[in-house]
Amino acid sequence: MKAKQTTISPQDIVVLLKIITYNNQHWEQAPISDELYMSQSEISKSVARSKFSGLLDPSGKKVRRLALMELLQYGVAYVFPQQPGPMVRGIPTAHSAPPLSDVIVSNEPYVWPSAKGKARGQSITPLYPSVVDAVQKDEKLHELLALVDALRVGRAREKEIAIKELKSRILDEPYSQDERLLLI
């Protein structure tokens, strides 16, 4: 009998970042499903994978922020790589979206392809297709996902700034007891 390998999927990053936007408030899978335009079964599977990988605590309700930050900082560009594509209309991402657009001036804008978008730029495939709809209603999620895209496609300076911004948004919360033990 073959053992099945459990691996993280790109939508798991989206779900974890959405949970982060709740600022440690209680959350339910059904509203997250609606807000991310994903099925409840996708959310449930994502939560199970994140618990298995240690990105969520055993209850499946609290993001292990330090572990998530390590994955983003050191792994997301390798696990979910991206290369800028052709010029399209879409929604700004990476250094073309806040908060990086306030700091970095570039003649090479990046966008998630979308007919709803008003910007033109090189296309970046989002971590999950429904991201382009979800960020229309959630500015915090848009900023987090744009910062993650900066890690996926950015140059050294953009990545450095993105890491600082992500740390301030993800790790700014007090550490859980489990995370304190990891720091020792």
pLDDT tens readout for residues 98-110: 999 999 988 999 9
Cβ atoms of 128 and 11 closer than 8 Å: yes
Mean pLDDT value across residues 90-119: 94
- pLDDT, tens digit (0-9, with 9 covering 90-100), for 120-168: 999 999 999 999 999 999 999 999 999 999 999 999 999 999 999 999 9
Q: Is residue 1 pLDDT above 80, yes or no?
A: no
- Candidates 46, 54, 45, 20; CA nearest to 147 is 20
Cβ atoms of 134 and 15 closer than 8 Å: no
Residue 51 burial (10 A CB sphere; 0-12, 13-18, 19+): middle
Q: Is residue 184 pLDDT above 50, yes or no?
A: no
pLDDT at 173: 53
Please, which residues have CB within 8 angstroms of residue 101's CB and are 6 or more apart in sequence?
A: 92, 95
Stated pTM of the model: 0.90
Dihedral class, residue 148 (left if φ above 0, else alpha if ψ from -120 to 50, else beta): alpha
pLDDT at 180: 44
- Residue 162 — φ and ψ, nearest 5°? -60, -40
Q: Is residue 25 pLDDT above 80, yes or no?
A: yes
End-to-end Cα spacing for the chain: 40
Residue 179: pLDDT band with limits 50, 70, 90: very low
